[in-house]
Amino acid sequence: MKKLALHWQILIGMFVGILVGLIFTQFSWGKQFVSDWIKPFGNIFINSLKLIAVPLILASLIKGVSDLKDISSLSKMGFRTITTYIITTLIAVSIGLVIVNIIQPGNSIDEKTRTELLEAYAGDAESKQKDAQNQKQKGPLQALEDLVPDNIIGAASSNGNMLQVIFFAIFFGIGLILIPEKNAKPVKDFFDGLNEVILKMIDIIMLAAPYGVFALMAALIVEAPSSDLIIALLYYSLSVIIGLALMIGVYMLIVKIFTNKSPKFFLNGISPAQLLAISTSSSAATLPVTMERVEEHLGVHRQVSSFVLPIGATINMDGTSLYQAVAAVFIAQAFGMDLTLGTQLGIIATATLASIGSAAVPGAGMVMLVIVLGQAGIPEAGLALIFAMDRPLDMLRTSVNVTGDAAVSMLVAKSQDKLGDPQVKDWDDNYKK
């Protein structure tokens, strides 16, 4: 008998958790039973995600930056590629923040439910709010000063210092690029191996996702049994979907303006890769198909596609970044937190940098969200609110990630005069190769 796909297991875990939670609310002792015997398994699951956040960002980001060794010979292409990826990520995060501030899905939760949420996660929320108050009292350049750690071991001891860890990882990766390749190879091999181990750990953790979601949802229902939570989650999902759709529109606009190719031509060329991305939730798994579609159907020279697309699968996570921005503000709204403009700008910076180190595998976006929440002072326990909706949204945002990679590859190819016409008869023989 064929094993049920993980996303179906997670959805089943979510619905069973809701059902169990509703059943236990009918008994006077039910809430205490769930808190004592079910909720701890959800907490263990969240802790396991937090556990690998620092090693994941270090391994993935150092590997991603150090893999840019060809940038010395392709400096112009490399600069344009990375700059464009960063710009599209900034646009994606900004779109997410605009949408979530307009729709305000977390504000549909009534005051009674919000009070119950705050009571349930009082310790976490209170400490984060104190940190946020302390941040407001600091000088205008404190954020820039805090970016550079005085002790990387100390910085790595807290997910709230993740920007410092990201800074160190990028700095370390640049150092690997600049030293002789034979000296860098042992260090690079170590981080390549470490990255593989961390990705395997994510696979193992995700096997427990259905049980973690079950425990989190059961606890959430008994601690704040209100239908407005379900309505808020629907509005949250709608916010993410609208943002992702707008980002697809941005890509079509970029392709039209910079390559003079029609949106229909672009979507027809990349649609098989988009569908595969939805089914796999992995940019890395979709990469071979993405490269084939970009080369054979969008006219990108192989020299460009082989450089731009693997980098994109590593550092360009526009859909993931947009989702993280929406999720962070939604959780803050659900807890009644008023995020300042400075905090939301911090979310833009953190989500953009975290996306560079986000692994191109299912579930990694949730780990990176821990980083964004910690940096913004938002209770990490709020992950319980959104985790059940993560898998279907993960499928959609991965499709956006792949679409962004394809659009940027066309833009870079055009700037290098390496964008051909796949409909021309001799293009395969005389141009692509």
Instruction: Give the whole-angstrom CA distance, residue 216 versus residue 38.
Output: 8
pLDDT tens sequence across 332-343: 888 777 777 777
Instruction: Give the whole-angstrom CA distance, residue 223 versus residue 269.
Output: 48
CATH of the structural domain 6-432, one choice from 1.10.287, 1.10.10, 1.10.3860, 3.30.70: 1.10.3860
pLDDT tens sequence across 91-130: 998 899 899 889 988 877 777 766 666 665 555 444 444 5
pLDDT level of residue 227 (50, 70, 90 thresholds): low
Tokens found for residue 105: 């899905």
Does residue 241 have a pLDDT over 90?
yes
- pLDDT mean across residues, the chain: 76
**323: helix, coil or strand?**
helix
The answer to whether the beta carbons of residues 232 and 388 sit under 8 Å apart is no
Does residue 131 have a pLDDT over 60?
no
First to last CA, the chain: 45
Percent of the chain with pLDDT over 90: 9
pLDDT tens sequence across 274-287: 887 775 666 766 77
The answer to whether the beta carbons of residues 360 and 283 sit under 8 Å apart is yes
363: left (phi over 0), alpha (psi -120 to 50) or beta: left
Does residue 295 have a pLDDT over 60?
yes
Instruction: Give the whole-angstrom CA distance, residue 76 versus residue 412.
Output: 10
The answer to whether the beta carbons of residues 226 and 109 sit under 8 Å apart is yes
List the domain boundaries for the chain: 6-432
Q: What angle do CA 163, 166, 171 make, to 5 degrees?
A: 125
